Amino acid sequence: MKYNQNFKIMQITDSTLVIGVDIAKKKHFARAFDWRGIELDKTIQFKSNWTGFNSFFDWVNYVANKTEKDKIVIGIEPTGHYWFTFAQKVFEAGHMLVQVNPYHVKKAKELDDNTPSKSDRKDPKTIAMLVKDGRYQIPYMPKGLYAELRKANNLREEWLKKIWSVKNKVQRWLDIYFPEFMSAFSSWEGKCAVMTLERLSLPAEIMKLTANEILSIWREEVSRGVGIKKAQKLLEAAKESVGIREGLEMASYEMKLLMREYKEIREILDDLEAKLESLVLTIPRATNLLEIKGIGVKTVAGFFAEVGDIKRFSHPQQIIKLAGLNVRENSSGEHKGQTTISKRGRSRLRALLFRAILPMTAKNAEFNALHKYNITEKENPLKKMQSLIALCGKLIRVIFTLVTKNVKYDGEKLLGDIHRENVVIAA
């Protein structure tokens, strides 16, 4: 559903009780107003626990009955993760929960007393006034499969950050103690390279062994892809190393710890990705997306984790706006400023789409043709980055169509814009 400004304002009528709640970690503050902004009762505070929530709803019902209001709208300013439990209780109570932008609260709080001061008693009123004027958003909290998918994807993102941190530490270690290591291996993450870093990380340790002895160590776990030439290459690199030669005992211990941490995190990530794949395959029509060349399970999982149930949208433009890919104009009078994207909404969704579109413009024939058309053949060609952003929006529209209409991916239809343009030019 598209919640435009008129729709939001019409939700607040003379029979609506507007509650503004300032969310904190342990205690929340609430104030009640009518549709004109007249306060209906005193400010209350309640704890963020079972007893506190029950006392809040008792107070809400008391004020609603006293003022003969039959609709309750509760507005909050999302503060970190502290609002999650409160929101759940509001939904269970059957009331409407809305969110106001923290930036709007900061700017609007001076309207009453002309001071930028902040207090737990002042903020609930500012929140309620924004809700009264229709300046709010209706939050989406995924349920069921989509809740599981979002949590799994969030966990994967967290553990990816951890493994990137370990990788950076390993690379730093190699630059200091064994800069020539990568001349023997294409990547230090290969099984053979990891074994070497675990057991023979320092050049001095490698030079104590012969090429055959190094090979025999590798053969304990790796049977293919390694030979005597690689072992000899590693020995030559160790002999010519210019790495630091002090503090080697603890340096060797540090690498063992890094390799242990890397393998543990890698195992957790593999498990999480397997869970993500199993969850994705249970989403209705998600397999339609895997028919697009360049789109994998991780991309599909990340998309649905951020978007949730796609059927709650009536148009793909709403998802484009959710990703912050909608165009923001900057003009006044005769001045025409640069047009950019808003970058509002879910930044993780925007980053996911951009990471997906980069390889697609190289591997997917249709998206590659669209990209070339955008930057070379159009009457007003786009810059490369502008074309990539436009293709992110195109990908959203394709995904929306494949899922909501349950159709198969058709590359020829995707190129329809180019074909139609060529027909016009020919005419």
Q: State the number of CA atoms in the 13 A half-sphere of 332 facing the CB.
A: 0
Q: CATH no. for residue 212?
A: 1.10.287.4070
> Residue 174 falls within a domain, yes or no?
yes
Angle between helices 384-404 and 365-372 (to 10 degrees): 140
pLDDT tens, residue by residue, 140-191: 989 999 999 999 999 999 999 999 999 999 999 999 999 999 999 999 999 9
pLDDT greater than 70 at residue 335: no
> Residue 267 falls within a domain, yes or no?
yes
pLDDT greater than 60 at residue 423: no
> Residue 141 falls within a domain, yes or no?
no
pLDDT at 330: 62
pTM comes to 0.82
The confidence band for 425, taking pLDDT boundaries of 50, 70 and 90, is very low
pLDDT, mean of residues 94-117: 84
Percentage above 70 pLDDT, the chain: 93
pLDDT tens, residue by residue, 5-33: 788 899 999 999 999 999 999 999 999 99
Q: Which of 68, 97, 132 is the last residue of a domain?
A: 132
Tokens of 395: 């990908």
Residue 265: domain span: 147-277
Q: Are 420 and 366 contained in the same domain?
A: yes
Mean model confidence pLDDT for the chain: 90
Q: Are 122 and 228 contained in the same domain?
A: no
pLDDT, mean of residues 112-126: 79
Task: Report how many helices (DSSP H) and strands (DSSP E) the chain contains, helices first.
Answer: 19, 9
The confidence band for 336, taking pLDDT boundaries of 50, 70 and 90, is low
Q: Of the given ranges (73-77, 133-137, 242-246, 332-336), which has the lowest mean pLDDT? A: 332-336
> Residue 203 falls within a domain, yes or no?
yes
pLDDT at 421: 52
The confidence band for 209, taking pLDDT boundaries of 50, 70 and 90, is very high
> Residue 142 falls within a domain, yes or no?
no
pLDDT at 342: 83
DSSP state letters, 175-215:
HHH-GGGGGT-S-TTSHHHHHHHHH--SHHHHHTS-HHHHH
Angle between helices 191-199 and 248-280 (to 10 degrees): 150
The confidence band for 338, taking pLDDT boundaries of 50, 70 and 90, is low
pLDDT at 227: 86
Tokens of 259: 């390799």
Q: Are 294 and 421 contained in the same domain?
A: yes
Q: Are 128 and 163 contained in the same domain?
A: no
Whole-angstrom CA distances from 130 to 56, 97, 113, 295 are 21, 13, 16, 41
> Residue 370 falls within a domain, yes or no?
yes
Q: Are 103 and 166 contained in the same domain?
A: no
The confidence band for 426, taking pLDDT boundaries of 50, 70 and 90, is very low
CB atoms within 10 A of CB 22: 25
pLDDT greater than 60 at residue 422: no
pLDDT, mean of residues 214-242: 90
Which helix (H) or strand (E) segment holds residue 72: the answer is strand 71-76
Q: Are 28 and 98 contained in the same domain?
A: yes
pLDDT at 333: 58
pLDDT greater than 70 at residue 52: yes
pLDDT, mean of residues 204-209: 95
Q: CATH no. for residue 42?
A: 3.30.420.40
pLDDT at 271: 96
pLDDT at 418: 66
Radius of gyration for the alpha carbons in the chain, expressed in angstroms and rounded: 29
The confidence band for 302, taking pLDDT boundaries of 50, 70 and 90, is very high
> Residue 78 falls within a domain, yes or no?
yes
Q: Are 12 and 127 contained in the same domain?
A: yes
Tokens of 388: 């990539």
Q: Are 350 and 225 contained in the same domain?
A: no
Q: Are 342 and 265 contained in the same domain?
A: no
Q: Which of 109, 132, 155 is the last residue of a domain?
A: 132
Number of domains in the chain: 3
pLDDT greater than 90 at residue 79: no
pLDDT tens, residue by residue, 125-144: 999 999 999 999 999 989 99
**pLDDT: is 265 or 78 the higher one?**
265
**pLDDT: is 379 or 279 the higher one?**
279
Tokens of 231: 């072992």
pLDDT, mean of residues 99-107: 89
pLDDT greater than 50 at residue 340: yes
Q: Are 167 and 252 contained in the same domain?
A: yes
pLDDT greater than 90 at residue 222: no
> Residue 69 falls within a domain, yes or no?
yes
* Torsion 198-168-347-368 (CA) sign: negative
pLDDT at 420: 53
Q: Are 156 and 272 contained in the same domain?
A: yes
* CB 331, CB 310: distance < 8 Å: no
* CB 275, CB 206: distance < 8 Å: no
pLDDT, mean of residues 43-72: 96
Q: Are 199 and 324 contained in the same domain?
A: no
